[in-house]
Amino acid sequence: MSRLLVIGCGGVAGVAIHKCCQNSETFTELCIASRTKEKCDKLKSELEGKTSTVITTAKVDADNVEELVKLIEDYKPAAVLNVALPYQDLTIMEACLKCKVDYIDTANYEPEDTDDAEWRAIYEKRCKEKGFTAYFDYSWQWAYHEKFKEAGILALCGSGFDPGVTSVFTAYALKHYFDVIETIDILDCNGGDHGYPFATNFNPEINLREVSAMGSYWEDGHWVEVEPMSIKREYDFAQVGKKDMYLLHHEEIESLAKNIPGVKRIRFFMTFGQSYLTHMKCLENVGMLSTTPVNFNGQEIVPIQFLKELLPDPATLGERTVGKTNIGCIFTGIKDGKKKSIYIYNVCDHQECYREVGSQAISYTTGVPAMIGAALVADKKWDGEGVFTIEEFDPDPFMDMLNKYGLPWVVEENPVLVD
Ligand code: NDP
């Protein structure tokens, strides 16, 4: 019996909200609040009559802590689910702290303005100390740990698919299959085809920032950074087939390296088609991925934000995307003194997602775990005080809910390993 405040109303939020409405035992009431209220109202009208969850909507600028505090004080939710953008993580956390309300998100903090001098000084220090140059990292949110603890509230960070389910798979593997996990390879394969020469499956700005960044992996207690897309492997994915995949920096590597004792190496690979890579390189070469504003006809324009306006809205890709995703983790390690390897993965069909909730599989695979994380926090099945990443909780109830809410998983023994 809980009241949830959802912030953001894009592709991921659409799925998370559909799923909350399927779980109306937990979410008896829900408020959808975002920058563009019309989107919230539209979603509300689509869902009304199909769920017993009582839905309200609100307009909020999630960059503004005072507006958020007012909304939280008025609505009095049990928890706040942040499915806006990583840019808003800290303002929403700050508001939750002021109102003493639990917080859940799907992506770690990243600043919108990477030219901001104050942020840049901290970032450059971190690059030197930690050895990776991605714009996003957990330090900003982990810095809230003591404050959340003192306030007696919980922040659950990274409750999407990757990060999210991949970290839950890791906790589950450690609990049930290994004494020590030595290596983790996270493989994110999207075998879907939307028919456009170039489009991104989630927010273009966040997506292009992520994939154009330097690659990195964790090995023997430190980061190893490599040129973007310079490590390539081919893998034969169940129900998808052979795909090229590339090593990327990814945020769950940072928290898993901290929380999985004895792990020697963690890598993240994502599949990309040649057309995507060629377009991205070309856009990068001409400066379209830049986050630095340029003056055009007397108006300041941020190239990557302008590009976002030209690209298809990821929330509209569902109808035209066919094929499947296969996302999971290959673990190697030791059990009872013997070497062992397993692969835990989920296969998700784009068209089935569209038929169920009107979205493609990338939003679906993120929105379902966002709802599950919020439900476990709201029901107090996952409880705690402070800031935590998802692998720090008991994976079993989450794994059960994945099966129940549309993301069934498979455990394969002795899989083909990635060299
Ligand atoms: P979208 O761009 O589709 O949606 C973002 C939503 O946030 C929009 O409704 C937008 O409003 C709203 N928003 C943006 N800024 C503000 C603001 N200042 N105040 C209020 N609302 C705001 O993104 P996605 O749904 O694709 O992604 C949502 C989140 O999910 C992102 O953080 C992304 O990184 C994360 N993600 C995580 C994954 C995982 O597996 N962990 C995978 C994919 C995504 P408006 O409608 O006005 O634009």
Residues 177-187: tens digit of each pLDDT: 999 999 999 99
| pLDDT for residue 210 | 83
- 82 Cα: distance to centroid of ligand 1 (angstroms): 9
Residues 325-370: tens digit of each pLDDT: 999 999 999 999 999 999 999 999 999 999 999 999 999 999 999 9
User: What average pLDDT does this structure show over 33-51?
Assistant: 96
| pLDDT for residue 203 | 83
Any atom of ligand 1 within 6 Å of the Cβ of 83: yes
Is the confidence at residue 411, as pLDDT, over 80? yes
pTM over 0.75: yes
User: What average pLDDT does this structure show over 379-403?
Assistant: 98
Segment among 95-99, 139-143, 192-196, 391-395 with least mean pLDDT: 192-196
Any atom of ligand 1 within 6 Å of the Cβ of 190: no
Confidence grade of residue 407 (pLDDT, cut at 50, 70, 90): very high
| pLDDT for residue 115 | 87
Percentage of residues in the chain with pLDDT exceeding 90?
A: 91
211 vs 34: which has the higher pLDDT: 34
| pLDDT for residue 51 | 96
Q: Whose CA is nearest to atom 46 of ligand 1?
A: 36
Is the confidence at residue 1, as pLDDT, over 70? no
Any atom of ligand 1 within 6 Å of the Cβ of 204: no
Residues 271-316: tens digit of each pLDDT: 998 889 999 999 999 999 998 899 999 999 999 999 999 999 888 8
Three-state SS annotation for the chain: CEEEEEECCCHHHHHHHHHHHHCCCCEEEEEEEECCHHHHHHHHHHHCCCCCCEEEEEECCCCCHHHHHHHHHHHCCCEEEECCCHHHHHHHHHHHHHHCCEEEECCCCCCCCCCCHHHHHHHHHHHHHHCCCCCCCCHHHHCCHHHHHHHCCEEEECCECCCEHHHHHHHHHHHHCCCEEEEEEEEEEECCECCCCCCCCCCHHHHHHHHCCCEEEEECCEEEEECCCCCEEEEEECCCEEEEEEECCCHHHHHHHHHCCCCCEEEEEEECCHHHHHHHHHHHHCCCCCCCCEEECCEEECHHHHHHHHCCCHHHCHHHCECEEEEEEEEEEEECCEEEEEEEEEEEEHHHHHHHHCCCHHHHHHHHHHHHHHHHHHCCCCCCCEEEEHHHCCHHHHHHHHHHCCCCEEEEECCCCCC
| pLDDT for residue 138 | 96
Any atom of ligand 1 within 6 Å of the Cβ of 283: no
- 34 Cα: distance to centroid of ligand 1 (angstroms): 10
| pLDDT for residue 315 | 80
Residues 217-267: tens digit of each pLDDT: 999 999 999 999 999 999 999 999 999 999 999 999 999 999 999 999 999
Q: What is the atom index within ligand 1 of the atom nearest the CA of 62?
A: 19
User: What rounded mean pLDDT belongs to the chain?
Assistant: 96
Any atom of ligand 1 within 6 Å of the Cβ of 377: no
Structural domains in the chain, sorted by start: 2-157 (3.40.50.720), 165-358 (3.30.360.10)
Residues 192-221: tens digit of each pLDDT: 999 999 999 888 888 888 888 899 999 999
